[in-house]
Amino acid sequence: MLLEVRDLHVEFRTRDGIAKAVGGVSYGVDAGETLAVLGESGSGKSVTAQAVMGILDMPPGRITGGEILFQGQDLLRLKEEERRRIRGAQMAMIFQDALSSLNPVLSVGDQLGEMFVVHRGMSKKDARAKAVDLMDRVRIPAAAQRVRDYPHQFSGGMRQRIMIAMALALEPALIIADEPTTALDVTVQAQVMDLLAELQREYRMGLVLITHDLGVVADVADRIAVMYAGRIVESAPVHDIYKAPAHPYTRGLLDSIPRLDRKGKELYAIKGLPPNLMNIPPGCAFHPRCPMAQDVCRTDVPPLYEVSDDRVSACHFWRECLHG
Ligand code: SF4
Ligand code: MG
Can you tell me the distance from the alpha carbon of 214 to that of 58, in angstroms, rounded to the nearest whole number?
31
- Range from 58-62, 102-106, 229-233 carrying the lowest mean pLDDT: 58-62
Q: Which atom of ligand 1 is nearest to the CA of 292?
A: 8
pLDDT (tens digit per residue) in 181-191: 988 888 888 89
pLDDT for residue 131 is more than 80 = yes
Supply the pLDDT for residue 268. 78
Q: Which residue has the higher pLDDT, 218 or 282?
A: 282
Give the Cα separation of 233 and 33 in Å (integer): 21
State the amino acid at position 245 in one-letter form.
P
For the segment 182-216, what is each residue's pLDDT rounded down to a tens digit?
Answer: 888 888 888 999 999 999 999 999 999 999 888 88
- Answer for the pair 248, 292: CB distance below 8 angstroms, yes or no: yes
Note the pLDDT of residue 262: 62
For residue 292 and ligand 1, the question of a CB distance below 6 A is answered with: yes
* Strand, helix or coil for residue 71: coil
Q: What is the mean pLDDT of residues 9-16?
A: 91
Name the nearest CA neighbour of 46 among 195, 208, 159: 208
CA 314 / ligand 1 centre spacing (Å) = 8
Closest ligand to C-alpha of residue 95 is 2
The C-alpha atoms of residue 220 and residue 198 are separated, in whole angstroms, by: 9
Q: Which ligand is nearest to the Cα of residue 96, counting in written order?
A: 2
Which residues keep their CB under 5 angstroms from ion ligand 2? Answer: 46
Q: Which atom of ligand 1 is nearest to the CA of 285?
A: 4
Closest residue to atom 3 of ligand 1, CA basis: 315
Cα of 302 vs centre of ligand 1, distance in Å, is 8
Residue 102 · residue 159 · CB < 8 Å: yes
Kindly indicate the confidence band of residue 81, based on its pLDDT and cuts at 50, 70 and 90.
Answer: very high
Ligand nearest to the CA of 231: 1
For residue 140, pLDDT over 80 is answered with yes
Q: How close is the Cα of 211 to the center of ligand 2, in Å? A: 8
Would you say 296 and 302 are in contact if contact means Cβ atoms under 8 Å apart? no
Q: What is the pLDDT of residues 158-181, one digit of tens each?
A: 999 999 999 999 999 999 999 999
| Percent of the chain residues topping a pLDDT of 90 | 79
pTM of the model: 0.94
The Cα 51–Cα 48 span in angstroms is 5
pLDDT for 247-289, tens place per residue? 999 999 998 887 666 666 666 788 899 999 999 999 999 999 9
Q: Is the CB of 245 under 6 A from ligand 1?
A: no
Using 50, 70 and 90 to split pLDDT, how confident is the model at 230? Answer: very high
Mean pLDDT of the chain: 93
53 pLDDT above the threshold of 70: yes
pLDDT beyond 80 at 58: no
Ligand 1 contact via 302 beta carbon (within 6 Å): yes
CA pair distance 176, 208, nearest whole angstrom:
5
Mean pLDDT over 16-23 rounds to 93
Residue nearest to atom 7 of ligand 1 (CA): 287
Whole-number Cα distances in Å, 37 to 149, 211, 217, 230, 299:
34, 6, 9, 12, 27
Ligand nearest to the CA of 248: 1
Q: How far is the CA of 236 from the centre of ligand 1 (A)?
A: 18
Question: Is any ligand 1 atom within 6 A of the Cβ of residue 293?
Answer: yes
